[in-house]
Amino acid sequence: MSLHLFRSREASIPLLFAACAGIGLLALGARAEAATVTGNATLTTDYVWRGTTQTQGDPSAQAGFKVASESGFYGSVWGSNVEFAPETHASSEIDYTLGWAGNVADDWALDVNVLYYQYPSTTVDLNWVELNGTMTWKSNYWLQLAYSPEALGSDENGIYTQVGARFPINDQFRIEAAAGYYYLDDVYDDSYLHGQLSAIWAVKAPLELRLTAHATDSSAEDIFGDEFAGNRIEAALQASF
């Protein structure tokens, strides 16, 4: 989910193969240990990630699947179209995730994973890896912390943190709110803050409709430009299976 052009980094390539191999092993091990396979497909008016658009405000089609074992280990693959700066020639993104998720105490759950962002259509190496951890309380409140030694496809460190909450209204409607801070001083000599507020309607299984308002501070506009940062509205229709 990088927006700018950085130099090539050969060290990231083995991580892609490790992620693919791990997901393959999870899938092959489904017979030995009970496992579940889930997936989703989404149509959205704008692909917004950490407050910034990844498609320059254009619509996006996204899909992914996840294989999870009873022990909590899982692997997933997710993809979307993207549109970055013209010189990157980026048109697609594929994310590979290996992790573990489960309860660690009453009302507390933890999800830790390694996430690999790949952009196969680019003429340069924008791929990068990130370590993520999310602690959730009572399934409705969460704190996320992420670290990358090659943030946004650079050779520099980046740290992202987010706090969020969901407020169920009834079985069909809920409100979600989140605020995040992305420390990118090593990459851009600047960092930024963003927030989002969503209204979600579970139309009818497996469909869900989401309307989200996104906002970033002026630092995000200084880093990425007005066409990528700022205020925007995103509407999405998702099917889960």
Between the alpha carbon of residue 31 and those of residues 10, 130, 177, 239, the distances in Å are: 36, 30, 39, 27
Residue 41 has a pLDDT of 98
d(CA 203, CA 116): 32
Residue 23 has a pLDDT of 56
d(CA 50, CA 223): 13
Q: Are 127 and 147 in contact (CB under 8 A)?
A: no
Residue 3 has a pLDDT of 55
Closest alpha carbon to 231 in 208, 184, 197: 197
Strand pairing category for 141-148 and 128-137: antiparallel
Question: Two tokens at 53?
Answer: 């658009």
d(CA 50, CA 160): 9
Q: Tens of pLDDT along the chain (241 residues)?
A: 445 444 344 444 445 545 555 555 555 554 556 799 999 999 999 999 999 999 999 999 999 999 999 999 999 999 999 999 888 889 999 999 999 999 999 999 999 999 999 999 888 889 999 999 999 999 999 999 999 999 999 999 999 999 999 999 999 999 999 999 999 999 999 999 999 999 999 998 899 999 999 999 999 999 999 999 999 999 999 999 9
Three-state DSSP class for 194?
strand
Between the alpha carbon of residue 92 and those of residues 73, 152, 163, 221, the distances in Å are: 27, 15, 28, 23
Alpha helices in the chain (DSSP H): 13-28, 185-188, 218-224
Strands (E), the chain: 35-44, 48-49, 52-53, 60-69, 73-81, 92-105, 108-118, 128-137, 141-148, 158-168, 173-183, 192-204, 207-216, 232-240
Three-state DSSP class for 68?
strand
Q: Across-strand partners of 116?
A: 96, 129
Residue 7 has a pLDDT of 37
pTM of the model: 0.88
Residue 24 has a pLDDT of 57
